[in-house]
Amino acid sequence: MPGPQSTEKSLDRVIVRCGLCSRTQARLAIAQGRVEVDGVVVTEPDTWIDEVRARVRFDGEPLAARPRATWMLHKPTGYVTARIDHRDRPTVCDLMPASIGWLAPVGRLDLETSGLLLFTNDGELARSVLDPESCLEKTYVVRCSGSLDDQDLALLRNGIDIGDGQGKTRPARAERLSDDGRECTTLLRIHEGRNRQVRRMVRALGHGVLALHRSHIGPLSLTGLEVGTSRALTDAEVAALRAAAGASTRSPAP
C-alpha cells in the first residue's frame, strides 16, 4: 500500500473524493464497468491509481471534482433518513431537489423525529459534525409524558447511563419549558450523537417521549424554513459550522 505522501489511492476513493457519489455507489459503478482509467475499463474498486496523473472517466465523462455543497432540510416526521428504504417508506432524499446531485445525510433523525438535518458532499465537514470530540452542540425540544422534576433535570445535566454500554452521557444543558403534571416540554442541548440518544435519556428517567424535534445544530437553526423544505447553506453559515465543529478549512478528503 502506498505511503502517506503518495498520490496513489484506491479507485473508489478517488471517485468519492470528487463528491460525485457515496463509496457504495462508486464501488457498484466500478463493478458495473462504468469507469475507465487511462482508456481501460476497470472493474475492481480496490485498484490503486495515481489520482494526479491517471485519466479517469465515469460514464464516459472525465472525472472532475464537484463543488462542495451543504444543505439543510426541515425534516417532517414519517420520513426515514436513508437514500432507499427496503420497506418502501418515504425517505428524506425524496424531499431534496433532484437538481442538486448527490449529497449524503449527515447523521440521522429517526422516523418519528423532526427537525434540522444536514446534507453534504464534504466528507471532512460531515466527519467533524459527527465527531463527539468536536463538542458541537445539538439542540432538541422534547415533549415527555409525565413531569420532569428538578432531580430528573439534574441527572440530564450531570450525565445518565442510557444502557448502551458506553457509560454515562456527557453533561447536557436541560431547561424545562412547560409542565402541566401530565406532560412536559424540555429544551435539551447535547454534545454527542449516540443512537437514539435523547429518547434513551428520557426513557432512562422513566418517561415516554411524545414528540422530538431538533431545532439547532451548532450555530444553525431552522428559522424561516418550512417543514418539508430545504435550502443551501450560505458561505457564512458553512464557515460558522466549520468553526463550531472544529473542521479544517483545507480541501476535505473523504
Bridge partners of 10?
A: 48
d(CA 205, CA 75) in angstroms, rounded, equals: 27
H-assigned helices in the chain: 11-17, 23-31, 123-130, 150-158, 197-204, 235-245
d(CA 105, CA 243) in angstroms, rounded, equals: 20
d(CA 70, CA 90) in angstroms, rounded, equals: 22
Which uninterrupted H or E stretch holds 58? strand 56-58
Residue whose C-alpha is closest to residue 169's, from 140, 201, 137, 138? 201
Active site amino acids: 110
d(CA 99, CA 61) in angstroms, rounded, equals: 18
d(CA 92, CA 149) in angstroms, rounded, equals: 35
d(CA 22, CA 119) in angstroms, rounded, equals: 12
